[in-house]
């Protein structure tokens, strides 16, 4: 078995276990632990417990690997492999009882410094549906035994997804971007989990996705799903505090990028 497939198998097993824990804690009731960038950007006790579980399982299976998680300090590791983890992507949904949240785990080649790596393997587990999306570099993206493929044609317009930041001062700019892109859209979805949106692009359930201000752990796994499903993923404005990610089939991806260039 190749390293990429071995890492994807491990990521999938741990993501499913972590998803089971997240679902169990949600059934018991959510306890807020802190806020992050704004009062609307929250952390639950479950976020921290789920990340601790993932980290302990990875350390047991692959001691010496690096780790970059949303809720804990980065560890550069010693092996050249780093795990990039979002324990509960869609925490606000999770807190409100909306089932659109996911566990996102990616293995990358490189350090724990965002952007200085190449994705090797990914798993996005969706506790509410019991689905786990996986990818291994060079081996494709899968949902169970089903190989995933992005959509290639959108004759009725593209079904797109996006998200908005928690800082109210950014909302006008985000809405202006939506207005610019809507002419190519069949409709727009806003699920509240970047990992889930990217997994749905990979599965052909969405034609494309764009959003500003994501963190590396939000998209590390989902981006590999899309690229291994035959799609394209681009990060632009990477020097700004709110870089833009665009993902989709070739046609949709390129058209969104074209619109964004025209708006700048």
- Write out pLDDT tens, residues 154-169: 998 999 999 998 888 8
Task: Report the pLDDT averaged over residues 206-214.
Answer: 96
**What mean pLDDT do residues 164-181 have?**
91
pTM: 0.94
Residues with Cβ within 8 Å of residue 93, at least 6 apart in sequence: 99, 100, 101, 191, 192, 193
What pLDDT does residue 250 have?
96
Q: First-to-last CA distance in the chain?
A: 46
Query: Cα separations (Å) of 238 from 52, 60, 111, 244?
Result: 29, 34, 18, 7
DSSP state at residue 112: S
pLDDT score, position 39 = 40
Listing DSSP states for 194-241 in one string gives HHHHHHHHHTTSSSEEEEES--HHHHHHHHHHHHHTT-EEEEE-TTSS
Picking from 38, 19, 33, 143, the residue whose alpha carbon sits closest to that of residue 88 is: 19
Q: In the structure encoding, which two tokens stand for residue 218, read together?
A: 């939000």
- Mean pLDDT calculated for residue range 236-243: 84
- For 135-158, the pLDDT digits (tens) are 999 999 999 999 999 999 899 899
13 CB-contact burial (10 Å; exposed 0-12 / middle 13-18 / buried 19+): middle
Residue 262: which residues within 8 A CB-CB, separation 6 or more?
Answer: 180
Residue 218: alpha-carbon gap to chain centroid:
4
pLDDT digits (tens, 9 = 90+) for 8-61: 999 999 999 999 999 998 888 766 665 555 544 446 788 899 999 999 999 999
* pLDDT band, residue 124 (cuts 50/70/90): very high
């Amino acid at each position: 078995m190749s390293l990429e497939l071995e890492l994807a198998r491990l990521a999938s097993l741990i993501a499913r276990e972590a998803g089971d824990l997240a679902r169990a804690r949600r059934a018991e009731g959510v306890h807020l632990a802190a806020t992050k960038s704004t009062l609307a950007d929250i952390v639950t006790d479950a976020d921290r417990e789920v990340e601790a579980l993932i980290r302990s399982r990875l350390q047991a299976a692959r001691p010496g690997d690096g780790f970059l998680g949303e809720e804990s300090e980065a560890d550069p590791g010693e092996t050249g492999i780093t795990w990039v983890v979002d324990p509960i992507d869609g925490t606000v949904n999770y807190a409100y009882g909306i089932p659109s949240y996911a566990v996102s785990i990616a293995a990358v080649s490189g350090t724990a410094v965002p952007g200085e790596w190449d994705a090797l393997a990914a798993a996005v587990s969706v506790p509410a549906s019991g689905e786990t999306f996986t990818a291994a570099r060079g081996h494709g993206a899968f949902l169970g035994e089903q190989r995933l493929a992005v959509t290639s044609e959108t004759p009725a317009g593209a079904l797109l997804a996006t998200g908005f930041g928690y800082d109210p001062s950014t909302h006008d700019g985000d809405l202006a971007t939506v207005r610019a892109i809507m002419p190519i859209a069949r409709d727009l979805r806003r699920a509240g989990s970047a990992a889930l949106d990217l997994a749905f692009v990979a599965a052909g359930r969405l034609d494309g996705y764009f959003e500003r201000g994501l963190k590396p752990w939000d998209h590390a796994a989902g981006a590999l799903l899309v690229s291994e499903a035959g799609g394209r993923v681009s990060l632009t404005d990477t020097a700004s505090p709110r870089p833009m990610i665009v993902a989709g089939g070739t046609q949709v991806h390129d058209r969104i990028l074209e619109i964004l260039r025209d708006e700048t």
